[in-house]
Amino acid sequence: MLEYWIVTVILIIIAAVLYNYRNKSSFPVKFGLLSWMALLVYFPAEMLIISRTTKPYSIMNQAMSDLGLLSCGRDAYPLAAYEICSPMAHEMNIIFILTGMLIATGSLLLHRFWGNSRWTLFVIYGIGYTLSDVYPADVNFWAHTLPSLPTMVVQLPAMYFISKAIKDKWPGLSRFTLICMMISALSLILIIIGFPAGLMQRLIYFSAWFWMSMTAIILWRKS
């Protein structure tokens, strides 16, 4: 897992340097906006990884992290009573780590748009997502699972507080934020009561990532 830690540390250093210069140049803000826009790349990237799996993979029922398992076979981790084989697992894990750091970096660099509105929750979200994928589930199930748990819920209060912070200045964006928050919240409820886990997990994450990407595009045009 050394290579995953190296990538993570490098990305954290880059984010810290940009954060330090956030008030001295417009570049960090633009970088933050581009970071969130880049989240859209995840969707075609995941489809490519899925197309390379050598065992049947179900978007409806299987976790996203199954695509990053380094081993092939049945019972790769405690909840995987099925065959898994993802030849591009290393690439998928790098994509997961990058995704988390893009979220965290964007959150650090864009907080001026919504002020003191608990924007740090998205930093926690991004860091948690990154750390969970430094250890794939088949390498260390708990080291993978525990950091990922906050990423299922912290986006909800983060989006709520941001929607409140911007409702007077950007009412349309505020409503869009609440809609994406409600989709994520509903998906979380549905996964708990037994709806297809793979699909619901994607809706939990993708509703937040889509909001980030669209918000970044809107803010880029406004700025």
Give me the domain span that covers residue 45: 2-222
pLDDT, residue 78, reads: 87
Helix (H) or strand (E) holding 202: helix 197-222
Between β-strands 73-74 and 83-84, what pairing exists: parallel, antiparallel or unpaired? antiparallel
| 3-state SS assignment for residue 83 | strand
- What phi and psi, each to the nearest 5 degrees, are found at residue 144? -80, -45
Provide the token pair at 167.
Answer: 């409702």
Q: pTM (2 decimals)?
A: 0.93
Report pLDDT for 123. 92
Q: Is the pLDDT of residue 133 over 80?
A: yes
The most distant pair of C-alpha atoms in the chain lies apart, rounded to whole Å, by 54
pLDDT tens digits for range 158-192: 999 999 999 999 999 999 999 999 999 999 999 99
Over residues 50-74, mean pLDDT? 94
pLDDT tens digits for range 138-148: 999 999 999 99
pLDDT at 117 over 70: no
Instruction: State CA 140 to chain mean position distance.
Output: 20
Sequence-distant (6+) residues with CB within 8 A of 10 are: none
d(CA 202, CA 89): 18
26 burial type by CB count under 10 A (0-12 exposed, 13-18 middle, 19+ buried): exposed
Domain count, the chain: 1
The better pLDDT of the pair 7, 209 is held by 209
Is the per-residue pLDDT at 116 higher than 80? no
Which pLDDT belongs to residue 138?
92
Average pLDDT in the 14-29 region?
Answer: 86
Distance (Å) of CA 123 to CA 20, 61, 89: 16, 28, 25
Helix, strand, coil percentages for the chain (3-state, nearest 5): 70, 0, 25
104 has a pLDDT exceeding 90: yes
pLDDT above 90: residue 77 = no
For residue 78, count CB atoms less than 10 angstroms from its CB and return exposed for 0-12, middle for 13-18, buried for 19 or more.
Answer: exposed
* Higher local confidence (pLDDT), 118 or 212: 212
Under the banding of pLDDT at 50, 70 and 90, the label for residue 25 is confident
**Tell me, what's the pLDDT at 134?**
94
Range name among 3-7, 30-34, 160-164 with the lowest pLDDT average? 3-7
